[in-house]
Amino acid sequence: MAGVELCEPRHLYNILNQQRRLPRLAEPGYLCLLDTRTQREYDESHIITARRIKQSPTGHYLIPDSEELRCVRYCVVYDCETSSLGCCDYEEEEREKDAEEGTAVQYARSLEQFTRHPVLVLTGGYKRFSACYHFLRTQKILWMPQELDNFQPYPVEILPAKLYMGNFKQACDQQIQKDLKVKAQVNVSEQPAMLFTEEGKLLHISVPDSLEADLFSSFATICDFIDAQLDSGAVLVFSSLGISRSSTVTMAYLMHSCQFSLKRAWDYILKCKTNMRPHRGFVKQLSAWETQIFGATITDISEPNY
Q: Which residues pair with 61 in a beta bridge?
A: 55
What pLDDT shows up at residue 10?
97
Residue type, 25: L
Evaluate if pTM is beyond 0.85: yes
What pLDDT shows up at residue 100?
43
Residue-wise pLDDT for 220-254, tens only, equals 999 999 999 998 899 999 999 999 999 999 999 99
What pLDDT shows up at residue 99?
42
Q: Which residues of 228-245 are buried (b: 16+ CB within 10 A; e: fewer)?
A: ebbeebbbbbbbbbbbbb
User: Does residue 222 contact residue 249 with C-beta atoms inside 8 Å?
Assistant: yes
- Please report the domains of the chain, with CATH numbers, ordered by start residue: 4-149 (3.40.250.10), 156-294 (3.90.190.10)
What pLDDT shows up at residue 188?
96
- 10 Å Cβ neighbour count for 81? 18
Question: If 0-12 CB within 10 Å is exposed, 13-18 middle and 19+ buried, where does residue 87 land?
Answer: buried
Flag residues of the chain having pLDDT under 50. Answer: 87-101
